[in-house]
Structure 1
Amino acid sequence: MSTQQTSSLQYLSGFGNEHATEAVAGALPQGRNSPQRAPFDLYPELISGSAFTAPRHENRRTWMYRRQPSVVAGRYHAYAHALWTTGGDRSAAIAPEPLRWNPIGFEPGVHQDFIDGMRTIAANGDAEAQAGMGSLMYLATESMGRRAFVNADGEMLIVPQQGRLRITSEMGVLEVKPGEIALLPRGVVFKVDLPDGPSRGYVCENYGAHFRLPELGPIGSNGLANARDFLAPVAAFDEPGTPHELIKKFGGRFWRAPTRSSPFNVVAWHGNLTPVKYDTVNFMVIGSISFDHPDPSIFTVLTSPSDTPGTANCDFVIFPPRWLVMEDTFRPPWYHRNLMSEFMGLVHGEYDAKPGGFKPGGASLHNCMVPHGPDEEAFTKASNAPLAPQKLDNTLAFMFESRYRFIPTAYAMQQAPLDQDYADCWAGLKDQFAKPAN
């Protein structure tokens, strides 16, 4: 098992790997998961992220050896969260039009942590049916401190856009900066602190099947995201006497309970259900070296499959720095309408299809069969540019793509900075058909 030292934090390497780690030598039982008495009188506790009878290659679970089991908590009481909603509101009348939001700014005098600063922009599906996803944004100005959170409705894919996140989980600590992503499994307790102060970013709350690496098919054995570049934390635990408030998302509602000690008391663990982080600079981009260019699915980092083969519950796709070398080819994305619905964000830099209007921290939504593509400026420039090798650099855009239609929330349509003039970016595209002379 390989380890890596990063910013004084230790990590284990590999996505979906079986890891074993102990903060105190000898804390992991040998040969038995739940002996009559575990080493150092720790409590064995199993967290299962899949059904017990799931196929071996899909089964996700971790054995934890902790100072106190997670059943030791106070009674839960309702907790209000107005802006984090679950699933799509099918009664909402949403026109079949492209939507775009300018970056959401921090409000003066408003102090919120990662959980209270979360707001749903658009969602689909149903957490109870374990299908669909939510596209969210967070604006956090303070660390969670002695608050912790657990999401029973779905796993959370976090894409920081501004400021690092220090994510403490039951399995250990991850430090995640813009350009990196973090994937937190359903049911794992965590908290988020802010080493750099105010932080903003995007979240996919995945109600469906676990995210996994896509199949490579004809690409072969190498390409896209490599399993070894996903890093999991090593075991670490709090000292006793650190009570926390535990917030739980359960069935689309929020609950709170006191704990007499820290929930981050796991001294050792082994398994393959664990938070991980990934640096997008390690993504091996595949593209054309002749003419035309492949579908954007070639940029898939992670996929959550549905019951229809090849049609994802959710794909996480990135558009990182890359070379464009195709001959006689319009190089930005072409104009298109898709069965799949696309929620898009920009971490930094400029997106080549919208060089002026799409800003870092903003978002766009192009639902099923809604036409979209390059704005007038991008089309004119790309149609007339010399076709020499070109490097797209200093850019990172991404997409949450889903088979289900996204339904924007009331917050997104009424309070968030919706760009009312978005459609104008295509208004100058004239009919330029050059009819041949008789």
Structure 2
Amino acid sequence: MVPDDNAQAPVSGFFAWYAVIVLMLAQTVSFIDRMIMGLLVGPIRKSFDISDTQYSLLAGLAFAIFYSIMGIPLARIADRSSRKRLVAIAITFWSLMTALCGMAKGFWSLFVARIGVGVGEAVLSPAAYSIITDYFEKKTLARALSVYTLGVTIGSGLAYVIGGLVVTIAMQAGTVVLPVVGKREGWQLTFFLVGAPGLLVTLLILLIREPMRRGLIQTEQSGAAVSVMDAVRFIASRKRALFSHILGVSLFIMVVFSLNIWGPEYLMRTFGFARGDAGRSFGVLMMIAGTGGLMLGGALGDRWFAKGIPDAYSRVILLSMAGMWPFVIALGFVTTPQLGLLCMGVAVFFSAFQGGIAGGLIQLITPNQLRGQTVALYFLTANLIGMGLGPTVVASATDYVFKSDAALNKSIALCGGIVIPLAGLILLWGLPAIRKAVEDARSWE
């Protein structure tokens, strides 16, 4: 087979790491735009007179549905054309849609704007994983993907640290008058401010060199393209490995994302933190604990894989689950802010182990022409279950089980206590198939 028309000759280490850093910046911007909702629970609920459950639909489901659904067709385009150009277009679109959130006048207009953010961000990870996998050898892939995924912890952290400052200033300003758009509340101004940086990242994306596509498989057709039936046959041949990995990790992400979305509100409701203080505290915690967990998880994945352990990535993910579980349960019972922050920090640290390697395993067992589409299938499930259901399950427990806003801590503990063991059992069931899939993939190298 021949490489795609956009591919360059193999490039130096500088261009490979430049691509990782710039894609990490794009991921950072995407998570700032995505996670800023976590600081705006109170103001948005007050403006629109909605419940925790309704708010969770704005923060999670509105974003996740179309982020997930659009991921596969957009990833198919990424598998066949210029990935960097597609990412540049996507960043521009989601940045504009983030700003449009600031124009919302009610629940449904904000819901539609959040859908737009999800559609734009659906492009990034499938294309980025594909680009990075083509740049790096398997012995360093986990670390490279973990650096890219630093955008999750840095972006989430900055969303809360900078967002906390912005929200404090914006809320103190009350109603503001902006050129062209007119009068807006402080929380609406926040969306305009966080949407702008993405347009600068777009320019850096265009300087990435499209890498040569590696790990191609032969198909019934000539050229590098793979038909839909080729894709279906491949996925069916790896169904146990893919099913167990995707479903197990998706359930785990349900707890991880719930903690990320409700973290600042947990500090406010449980320990009386001011909104700005909660944002800064949780943001710093995300950047320090989350970044440490990501890098350690990637290093462990590379080290164990280099020792000849084919399911190394899955073992790190299981360690991530086991480490997070007791501390997320403890969040429901600690009585001091110091213990609350400590348990939150350890939970975030372990939760981040899986960040880079969960999608990385898909890259290890999938041929080049299907990497974007298969990782998009992973993100479809992970985001529908994780982002779409996670925040809503916690909110529903608060509204309908405990029937008290003050019981958010109990809702987080209940969700984590039940879901994490279930996720671990599903992943354990699939380990033999995952090991075989990794071994089979060596024939494409």
Larger relative contact order (CA 8 Å, sep ≥ 6)? 2
- Bigger radius of gyration: 1
Q: TM-score, normalised by structure 1?
A: 0.24
More strand by share: 1
Q: What TM-score do the two structures reach when normalised by structure 2?
A: 0.24
